[in-house]
Amino acid sequence: MQQVTKHYPMQGSDRFTTTSFVCVKSFRLTATAFSTDKTSALHSFSKGSTILGFVGKVTTAFVSTGGGSMQLGFTGTCMLSAPTTITSLDAVGDLVGPSSTNTAGPYVLAADDTFDAIDTTGAFTAGEMDIHVQYIPPPDGVLGSTFKQYVLT
């Protein structure tokens, strides 16, 4: 993963210098021979990353034997979605996002972790989903002398 120490969004002005912008990491989940209770690690995120949310969009309809449901998120921190049934993933364009019943984010990863897909019931035999995770990467340097410093007394 490439990180830039400082960004200058205002045409080269350093008035609004920042260390980390919101990023979107996109990747594809392909579910072929995705068996029950299988956890698939899809993408790794660094310790200190602030996970703001995600959205998954079905690009190829999911098919399963014996029903099926899938859950998405970080098994080491928090699964972001509730178990999503095959009937919610069986058409191109169906969307999956964070569940309002799970703990509200954002989440700061205490250790390196992977965004995972868990097949909780049934077995998926086909299907594809594009997943887009919105996050802020951890700062990769120390603040220089150009930043204001506040001292509490």
pLDDT in tens, the chain (153 residues): 444 445 555 445 555 566 677 889 999 988 876 766 778 888 999 999 999 989 999 999 988 877 778 889 888 778 888 888 888 888 898 888 887 666 667 888 999 999 998 887 777 888 899 999 999 988 776 666 665 667 776
Classify burial at 149, counting beta carbons within 10 Å of its beta carbon; exposed 0-12, middle 13-18, buried 19 or more. Answer: exposed
Assess if residue 9 is contained within a domain.
Answer: no
Which domain range does residue 114 map to? 23-136
Residue 150 lies inside a defined structural domain of this protein: no
Cα separation of 47 and 67, whole Å? 36
Model pTM score: 0.77
Residue 61 lies in a domain: yes
Question: Quick check: is 91 in a domain?
Answer: yes
Identify which of 54, 52, 53, 49 has the alpha carbon closest to the alpha carbon of residue 109. 49
CATH number, domain of 34, equals 2.60.120
Residue 97 lies in a domain: yes
Count structural domains, the chain: 1
Kindly state whether residue 8 falls inside one of the protein's structural domains: no
Q: What does the pLDDT look like over 35-70, one tens digit per residue? A: 667 788 889 999 999 999 899 999 999 888 777 788
DSSP state of 78: E
